[in-house]
Structure 1
Amino acid sequence: MFDAIVVGGGFYGSAIAIYLAQQRRFGRVLLVERERELLVRASYHNQARVHNGYHYPRSFTTAYRSRVNLPRFVRDWPAAVKKDFVKLYAIARRNSKVTSRQFERFCRDIGAFIEPAPGSLARYFDPHFIENVYVVEEHAFDATVLRTWAESELRESGVEVRLATRAVAVVPATEGGLVVTLGAAEGGEYPVRAAHVFNCTYSGLNQLGGRFGTTRTGLKHELTEMALVEVPAPFKELGVTVMDGPFFSLMPFPARALHTLSHVRYTPHLQWEDAVGVDPYQRMHDYGRPTRVDRMVRDVARYLPLVEQARHVDSLFEVKTVLQKNEGDDGRPILFERHAELPNCYSILGGKIDNIYDVLEKLESETLLPSSGTEESST
């Protein structure tokens, strides 16, 4: 009988398992991950950006929460944070959903640092397409360092980790608590009991069988390509985002000492609404994964001509999951739902790595009882 089973060994699942063991004093916590390593899916296959609010001028709440969470993330995971590069945000002259003046006011409203880029940096942009360029404060993270942290903390916290294991179904136990059916990679299924279940499987959030059901909040999936490129020398210590609309980002990717190139138009290869029985990961597995990096580079070079010299090294394909209700404003709040029919069963999803603090704050307000039935301290 476990006090809690956390399904999904990405950054969120690992951090929640550690929190339950360390802060809520749960004696028996099980972390289940279908891959053979932790933090190898969405936690790794992304832009590696630690947001500071600039990306969300159409969602003040998301922007403000990023401003609050960034310094906490830097404090808690300093070894994983890359700060030694200059981050530029540029506003396009055409098709941008914000003007330079609006962007400046937005940054002042959320208290984010911003200043005009010096001519030595602004000259890289084509002024026919770019209205203004700004220096801002934004960082990147190394997912491999976070994986090392997670492995160490889970071990020291006494959390049991089962890799190459997937959760199949969740049902109420007749004697109280929950029964989770687990399946090993080599085959065979077996049940385990727990007082609490935390589903942190990101794109697989609604793929559990039994009585688990689906989230009340609608989900949308995108099959995305994050291109890894070797940038020309002037861009080695730069990060660039052109916004706000159908534009792009060029961000350092510390885990590979390369840059990610993402484009709002070309990064999503497929899009579909979440549906029971349609496994997002199987859909990605069946996809041929043709790269669109040539189209990304061709469009980006209109704004940053030197990008034509970038060399494509690899592409990271992953399923990205967002809340349908935030498609219009590009907001990235967390999803935190407690299932009505399954007591102490939770679905948790975050859109950005710094959202972890929003999740932990939600957990602090929950009454969580270990299997012994004695309420534990949340301090």
Structure 2
Amino acid sequence: MNAPNSVHDAVVIGGGFYGAVIALYLAKQRGFKRVTVVEREPALLQRASYNNQARVHNGYHYPRSFTTAYRSRINLPKFVRDWPQVVKSDFIKLYAIARRNSKVTSKQFQRFCRETNAQMELAKPALKALFEPRLIEDVFVVQEYAFDSLLLAAWARRELLEAAVELRFDTRVEAIARAGDDRLTVMARGPGGDTYSLDTRYVFNCTYSGLNQLGGDFAGTRTRLKQEITEMALVQAPPELEGLGVTVMDGPYFSMMPFPSRGLHTLSHVRYTPHLHWDDAHGVDPYARLAEYPRETRVDRMIRDVERYMPAVRRAKYVESLFEVKTVLAKNEVDDGRPILFEKHANLPGCFSVLGGKIDNIYDVLEKLDAELLAAASNQTLCS
């Protein structure tokens, strides 16, 4: 093993959106002088940050989780303010309520929108006519956006380089170990297979589905996680649906959202998007399972079911599918909530694991991080 480098202020494991923003926050807001991002892919924002529905939530999706909805209502305006160049808002977003098997009725959805102060109005007849009235109770026009992950990745790389954050690509972190009372050692394997170590004050584990795949003194998260292999179909929408985003609530239904990075739409279905799931465990590498998965598309079943509710979908042209591992907190399977995971590891002082279910959760993460660093600074002052 090569000799360790000089001590870093922080090592961020994972160059997705969360890892990039945390690294920028540490360098620009907290004054950390040496911050390094270690990413196993050849570029930033290549995995879950890209392979998703590209939706900037505004709370509508979570009538059974008021906390998640409330946080989205607070965070969406911040996201639009901070990343206006990546936000796509020039489409009409519709939420439709199914007549049968829905966990929320039209009246309940309207009350939920009033309680969360979320903008909503009944769709005009021309838009409502896109749906099968026997199966859809009501259709609402709401305020919800999409984001372009390619533009977001370009922004992240530019900002990180300007902030003098070191980027190490094609590099996999294998373990974290204690190196003293206030130091950690990160063991990594570079693109040529060489191993080396990074000594650091802080480690932020932002590896999403790989949170519990680190060795050494890293004991894993206390919070139980569930892994899913998911399929997000990319389709060319027919003309009458091209300027729309659609979500049918709240049960075994679907969403069809603009995907700005490709100029297409994503098509996802509660029943057919999840292909395989398991309880997360150390030693069961989710990305290895994804690599071995046959990736047979279910888009034909998605379209057959979706066209019952929205007949025009039968004219959508399938392009390809994005397969990815989705990680959720096991405790939120009942209410579909998407809170953040922000765990401080007691056996590794200065080590944190971070997971967010939605892109706007980044503000909740930064609030937690700010509180932790302020508390650490206060403790150092009291001890000095």
TM-score, length of structure 1 as denominator length: 0.97
1:201-220 matched pairs, under 5 angstroms: 201-220=207-226
In the alignment, is the contact (CA less than 8 A) between 1:250 and 1:262 conserved in 2?
A: yes
| Residue identity matched to 2:186 | V
Residues in 2 aligned to 1:275 and 1:333: alpha-carbon distance in whole angstroms: 20
Q: Which position in structure 1 is the counterpart of 2:254?
A: 248
In the alignment, is the contact (CA less than 8 A) between 2:184 and 2:203 conserved in 1?
A: yes
Matched, 1:291 2:312: no
| Residue identity matched to 2:131 | F
Moved segments of 4+, more than 4 Å: 368-371
In the alignment, is the contact (CA less than 8 A) between 2:177 and 2:184 conserved in 1?
A: yes
Q: Which position in structure 2 is the counterpart of 1:40?
A: 46
Q: Deviations over 1:159-186 (max 9, x none)?
A: 0000001111000014740000010132
Q: Deviations over 1:76-108 (max 9, x none)?
A: 000100000000000000100000000000000
Residues in 1 aligned to 2:370 and 2:202: alpha-carbon distance in whole angstroms: 15
Deviation at 1:370, TM superposition (A): 10
Deviation at 1:283, TM superposition (A): 0.1
SS of 1:18 mapped into structure 2: helix
Q: Which of 123, 129, 134 in structure 1 is aligned with 2:135?
A: 129
| Stretches of structure 1 lacking an aligned partner (at least 5 in a row) | none
1:35-114 matched pairs, under 5 angstroms: 35-114=41-120
Residues in 2 aligned to 1:356 and 1:176: alpha-carbon distance in whole angstroms: 27
Q: Which position in structure 1 is the counterpart of 2:125?
A: 119
1:19-34 matched pairs, under 5 angstroms: 19-34=25-40
1:1-379 matched pairs, under 5 angstroms: 1-174=7-180, 176-367=182-373
Instruction: Classify 1:365/1:174 alpha carbon distance in 2 versus 1 (closer, same or farther; 3 Å).
Output: closer
Residues in 2 aligned to 1:195 and 1:368: alpha-carbon distance in whole angstroms: 15
| Residue identity matched to 1:351 | G
Q: Deviations over 1:171-228 (max 9, x none)?
A: 0014740000010132121111000000000000000100111111100011000000
Q: CA RMSD in A?
A: 1.4
| Residue identity matched to 1:200 | C
Residues in 2 aligned to 1:189 and 1:129: alpha-carbon distance in whole angstroms: 58
SS of 1:41 mapped into structure 2: coil
Residues in 1 aligned to 2:261 and 2:164: alpha-carbon distance in whole angstroms: 27
| Residue identity matched to 1:213 | A
% of aligned pairs identical?
65
| Stretches of structure 2 lacking an aligned partner (at least 5 in a row) | 1-6
Residues in 1 aligned to 2:376 and 2:196: alpha-carbon distance in whole angstroms: 22
Residues in 1 aligned to 2:380 and 2:27: alpha-carbon distance in whole angstroms: 15
SS of 2:151 mapped into structure 1: helix
Residues in 1 aligned to 2:219 and 2:301: alpha-carbon distance in whole angstroms: 40
Residues in 2 aligned to 1:201 and 1:340: alpha-carbon distance in whole angstroms: 19
Residues in 1 aligned to 2:375 and 2:45: alpha-carbon distance in whole angstroms: 28
Residues in 2 aligned to 1:370 and 1:134: alpha-carbon distance in whole angstroms: 47
Deviation at 1:52, TM superposition (A): 0.3
Deviation at 1:74, TM superposition (A): 0.2
Residues in 1 aligned to 2:143 and 2:26: alpha-carbon distance in whole angstroms: 32
Aligned residues: 374
Residues in 2 aligned to 1:370 and 1:95: alpha-carbon distance in whole angstroms: 50
| Residue identity matched to 1:80 | V
Q: Which position in structure 1 is the counterpart of 2:3?
A: none
In the alignment, is the contact (CA less than 8 A) between 1:3 and 1:370 conserved in 2?
A: no
| Residue identity matched to 2:87 | V
Residues in 2 aligned to 1:175 and 1:273: alpha-carbon distance in whole angstroms: 33
In the alignment, is the contact (CA less than 8 A) between 1:4 and 1:370 conserved in 2?
A: no
TM-score, length of structure 2 as denominator length: 0.96
Residues in 2 aligned to 1:174 and 1:11: alpha-carbon distance in whole angstroms: 30
In the alignment, is the contact (CA less than 8 A) between 2:182 and 2:349 conserved in 1?
A: no
| Residue identity matched to 2:22 | I
SS of 2:42 mapped into structure 1: coil
| Residue identity matched to 2:313 | V
Residues in 1 aligned to 2:373 and 2:104: alpha-carbon distance in whole angstroms: 43
Deviation at 1:366, TM superposition (A): 1.1
Q: Deviations over 1:231-257 (max 9, x none)?
A: 100111000000101110000000000
